[in-house]
Amino acid sequence: MTASRPLAELPPSTTAGPVPSDVAEALRAAAAEEERGARPIGRSIDLLRQADLLTDDGATDPARTARVLMQVGAANLGIGRLFEGHVNALHLVRLYGTKVQEAQVDRQIAEGALLGVWGADGAAPVTLDATGQHLQGGKCYASGLGTVTHALVTVDSGPEVRLALVDVTDAAPADPSAWDMQGMRATASGSFDFTGLPVDRIEWIGDPGDYLKEPHFVGGVWRIAALQAGATVGLLDVAATELRAAGRMGAEAQKGRLMDVLMRTWAGMALTERTAEAAADRHIAPDDIVTTSIAARLFTEEVGLDAIRAVEQSIGLRHFEAGSETGRMARDLAVYLRQAARDAFLQRAAQTALGEDGRIWGVFG
């Protein structure tokens, strides 16, 4: 674990906001080494743990959680991806698990555990075998191999999908070589084979179908929107810093190009915070929460893509140098923005907001 000053001893200016500024700066400083594999990502997770961020499930103060995700995403999107998975998993355990399971997970987190949600099936999906006594199949795009200690794994598919909490500290079934993306390399993602795992080593969380219940399933993609918006701000911030250092930020074209994207990023952040608040409001219809959460995710995706293009134009060829900080951040953001089912989500949101009477206001009604 990386040593850091106790938070109580930090000067007041470094504790303003959900993420202490020294933690955010340390996350940012570690990102390049983490991408190269020269620094274990567990050290950055330890920083989040020391700041008491790993007990957050996004339900107590969702707007604050959204801001935490934004700030972590701005500093280090790879770590932000792992943090979002942990928050999501903890939320699901507290939502659908028993009191005993909840207490057990809380204890494991206090002892150093990191949670994740692994839902993407590999070539052979994860199911129960013919005997019903073992799992078979695997997961792909599993983030945090070697760092995530307990994963919520989807078993079977369709309306009866189940959630299994599994200890994934065994390195043998993990294959990080399966991740060959140009970005998000620091997430230590890859495949994990669950074939042969006895069911007596599984904690079943909730009942079949619970995972798909709204507004906690698609209605929870505001967390992804928060990371996208934060990473966009982080990219713009580094670009502006580089331009100021080079004496190029004074150009009207630079200011106009980057400010246009920043204004829309701020709008996306506000939409995301409002959606996060609404997700915990039982007086708001689940369909409205889902629709607005989708809108936040898709809007911040579009703005993120525009930010990447604007930064490329503003920085120029140096953006594409091997050691470019904006280049690394843009690669990570571009990969993260490619979340699944974009078009289906847009159609679903449109069907509710535009296809039904009285739904045009979403969570703003």
Residues 161 and 212: beta-carbon distance below 8 Å: yes
Query: Positive or negative, the Cα torsion across 298, 303, 305, 308?
Result: negative
Q: How far apart are CA 73 and CA 53, in angstroms?
A: 14
CATH code reported for the domain at 115-211: 2.40.110.10
CATH code reported for the domain at 7-110: 1.10.540.10
Residue 12's pLDDT is 38
E strands of the chain, at which residues?
A: 115-118, 127-128, 135-136, 138-142, 150-155, 162-167, 174-175, 190-193, 202-205
218 secondary structure, DSSP code: G
Q: How far apart are CA 201 and CA 165, in angstroms?
A: 9
172 secondary structure, DSSP code: T
Q: Kindly report, residue by residue over 138-152, the tens digit of the pLDDT.
A: 999 999 999 999 999
pLDDT-derived band at 341 (thresholds 50, 70, 90) equals confident
Residues 228 and 73: beta-carbon distance below 8 Å: yes
pLDDT-derived band at 357 (thresholds 50, 70, 90) equals very high
Residues 290 and 225: beta-carbon distance below 8 Å: no
61 secondary structure, DSSP code: S
Domains of the chain, residue spans: 7-110, 115-211, 218-360
Residue 339's pLDDT is 84
pLDDT at 183 over 80: yes
pLDDT at 15 over 80: no
Residue 169's pLDDT is 98
Q: Kindly report, residue by residue over 232-242, the tens digit of the pLDDT.
A: 999 999 999 99
Q: What is the pTM of this model?
A: 0.93
CATH architecture observed for domain 218-360 = Up-down Bundle (1.20)
Report the phi/psi class of residue 113: left, alpha or beta, with left for phi > 0 and alpha for psi in -120 to 50: beta
Q: Kindly report, residue by residue over 247-258, the tens digit of the pLDDT.
A: 999 999 999 999
Q: How far apart are CA 143 and CA 191, in angstroms?
A: 9
pLDDT-derived band at 340 (thresholds 50, 70, 90) equals confident
Q: Which residue has the higher pLDDT, 365 or 78?
A: 78
Residues 32 and 41: beta-carbon distance below 8 Å: no
Q: How far apart are CA 198 and CA 13, in angstroms?
A: 51
In 37-98, where does DSSP find H-type helix? 42-50, 62-75, 77-96
pLDDT-derived band at 75 (thresholds 50, 70, 90) equals very high
Query: Positive or negative, the Cα torsion across 47, 222, 36, 325?
Result: negative
